[in-house]
A and B are shown apart, each in its own frame.
Chain A
Amino acid sequence: MEMLFEEEQQQIQAISDRLQKDSNAIAVLVINKDGQEIARSGQTSDLDITSLSSLFAGNVAATGEIAKFLREEEFGGQFHEGTKQNVHISVVARRAILVVIFDGRSSLGLVRLRVRKATEEMTKIFDALVKKIAAQQAAGIGGGSQLPGEITDEDIDKLFGE
Chain B
Amino acid sequence: MSFINYSAREINCKIVYYGPGLCGKTTNLKYIYEKTNPDAKGKMITLATETERTLFFDFLPLSLGEIRGFKTRFHLYTVPGQVFYDASRKLILKGVDGVVFVADSQVARFEANIESLENLRSNLQEQGYNLDKLPYVVQYNKRDMAEVSSVEELRRELNPNNVPDFEAVASTGVGVFETLKAVAKQVLTELKRGTGG
Once A61-B91, A144-B195 are accepted as A-B contacts, the answer to whether A4 and B43 lie under 8 Å apart by CB is no
- Name B's A-contacting residues (CB within 8 A): 1-8, 11-12, 14, 42-43, 45, 47, 56-57, 59, 61, 64-65, 67-70, 72, 75, 87-88, 90-92, 94-95, 181, 184-185, 188-189, 191-192, 194-197
Chain B residues positioned under 8 Å from A10 (CB to CB): 7
Q: What 6 pairs between A and B have smallest CB-CB spacing?
A: A150-B197, A148-B68, A9-B7, A144-B195, A151-B192, A34-B95
Specify which chain B residues have a CB less than 8 angstroms from the CB of A152 in the assembled complex: 192, 197
Is A62 part of the binding interface, using a Cβ–Cβ cutoff of 8 Å?
yes
A54 touches B75 (CB 8 A): yes
> Nearest CB to that of B182 among chain A residues?
A160
**Which residues of A line the B interface, CB within 8 A?**
1-6, 9-10, 32-38, 48, 50-51, 54-55, 58, 61-62, 65, 142-153, 155-156, 158-160
Given contacts A65-B91, A159-B65, contact A1 B1 (CB under 8 A): yes
Contact in complex: B56, A142 (CB < 8 Å): no
Q: In the complex the two chains form, what is the Cα distance from A3 to B11 in whole Å?
A: 9
Q: Which residues of B contact A149 (CB under 8 A)?
A: 68, 197
* Residues of chain A with a CB closer than 8 A to B185's CB: 156, 160
Which B residues are CB-close (under 8 A) to A5?
A: 6-7
CA–CA, A51 to B42, complex, Å? 7
A–B Cβ pairs within 8 angstroms, 7 of them: A1-B191, A1-B194, A55-B59, A65-B87, A145-B196, A152-B192, A156-B67
Contacts of A55 in B (CB 8 A): 45, 59
Identify 13 new A-B residue pairs, CB closer than 8 A, beyond the known A4-B5, A5-B6, A155-B67. A2-B1, A3-B3, A50-B43, A51-B61, A58-B92, A65-B87, A65-B91, A144-B195, A144-B196, A145-B196, A147-B191, A151-B192, A156-B192
**One of B4, B64, B68, B70 near A143 (C-beta < 8 A):** B4
Q: Give Cα A58 to B90, complex, Å.
A: 11
Q: Which residues of A contact B72 (CB under 8 A)?
A: 159
From known contacts A54-B61, A62-B91, A159-B72, infer whether A36 and B188 are also in contact, taking CB-CB under 8 Å. Answer: no
- Whether the Cβ atoms of A4 and B64 lie closer than 8 Å is no
A60 nearest CB neighbor, chain B only: B91
Contacts of A148 in B (CB 8 A): 11, 67-70, 195
In the complex, the answer to whether A34 meets B94 with C-beta atoms within 8 Å is: yes
Q: How far is the CA of A79 from the CA of B83 in the complex (A)?
A: 31
Tell me which of A33, A38, A145 contacts B95 (CB under 8 A).
A33
Across the interface, do A36 and B43 meet the contact criterion of CB distance under 8 Å?
Answer: no
Q: Which of B1, B6, B65 contacts A6 (CB 8 A)?
A: B6
Decide if A150 touches B196 in the complex (CB within 8 Å): yes
Report Cα–Cα, A153/B192, bound state, in Å.
Answer: 9
CA gap between A38 and B12 in the complex, in Å: 12
| Closest residue on chain B to residue A59 by CB atoms | B56
Chain B hits for A33, CB < 8 A: 94-95
Q: Which residue of A lies closest to B197 (CB)?
A: A150
When distances are taken between beta carbons in the complex, the residues of chain B under 8 Å from A6 are: 6-7
Residues of A within 8 A of B65 (CB): 158-159
Q: Which residues of A contact B188 (CB under 8 A)?
A: 151, 155-156, 159
Q: Determine how close the nearest CB of chain B comes to the CB of A150; give it in whole angstroms.
A: 3
Contact of A36 among B5, B47, B57, B67 (CB under 8 A): B5
